[in-house]
Each structure stands twice: as C-alpha cells, then as structure tokens.
Amino acid sequence: MVRAHFTIRFGKSCLPASAAQWVADADAARAAARTIVQGLMRQYGGDPRLLDAAIVISDDDGATLMELSFSDALYMPVEPVADPERRRPRAPRKAAPARLSGALGPVRRLASVLGAKMQPLLGPGS
C-alpha cells in the first residue's frame, strides 16, 4: 500500500491543496484520480481550462508516481471490476395469478355492487 497524494496542475503551477489516499497499486491510484477529476468536472465543468489541467500523483516523499491529464482521465475506457460481493439487479417478479386474483377480488366486488345500482341514463323507450 502506498499513500498517494493527488495534486492538480495547471501548466507549470500546482494548486496548493492536495488530497491523500492509501492505494494498493498504480491501477487503484489511476481509478482514484479519475474519480477526483470527474468530481471536479461535475462541480466546475464550465471552465475550459480544466481540460488542459493534469492531476499529479506522488508518494509521501514527493516522487511523482504518475501524471494524468484531465481529458485522459475523463475519456479513458473503463473496465468492469469483478467484485463477488456486488449484488446484481434482478428482474422484477411477476405477480402470481392467484395473488393477482386475490388482490383484484375487492375491486371486482365493488364494481359489481356499483354496476347493480347504476340505472340507465335514458328511459327504456329511447
């Protein structure tokens, strides 16, 4: 595990604030950087300077591990992560006919009661 520091660089200058996170390897650092970039683009996406920015990933000693441009971070292909603990969505179950009939029973009774009491609008000779 490496403690990676994520710093935003515009041209030759860097923002003074940085975020740090423990990551397992370079792929995990790249994924974390991508998440940071996506969050910044959601918040400040109207600023065109962001597409020229880069996120620099360094270790505790300040050595640069990786540099990733914002445009690369936004448009790099994403590979699915195999996670055995992830729950997959299931198709909704269809109601069993017996349950549906049971649920519609009160509605049918109400309809039959209302139908029996309804009188024709026009007389029988019309």
- The pLDDT assigned to 119 comes to 47
pTM confidence score: 0.56
Query: What is the overall mean pLDDT for the chain?
Result: 76
Order of strands across the sheet with 13-23? Answer: 13-23, 2-10, 54-58, 64-69
Q: pLDDT at residue 78 above 70?
A: no
pLDDT at 36: 85
**Total domain count, the chain:** 1
The span from the CA of 70 to the CA of 52, in Å, is 7
96-112 tens-digit pLDDT: 556 666 666 666 677 67
Q: Please report whether residue 93 resides in a domain.
A: no
Asked, for residue 105, whether it belongs to a domain, the answer is no
Domain that holds residue 33: 2-75
| pLDDT at residue number 15 | 79
Q: What is the pLDDT of residues 38-58, one digit of tens each?
A: 888 888 777 777 778 899 998
Flag whether 66 is in a domain: yes
* Within a domain: 92: no
pLDDT, residue 122, reads 54
Q: Does 1 score more than 80 pLDDT?
A: yes
Tokens of 68: 């990733």
In-domain check, residue 85? no
Inside any domain, residue 124: no
In a domain, residue 115? The reply is: no
**Does residue 87 sit within a domain?**
no
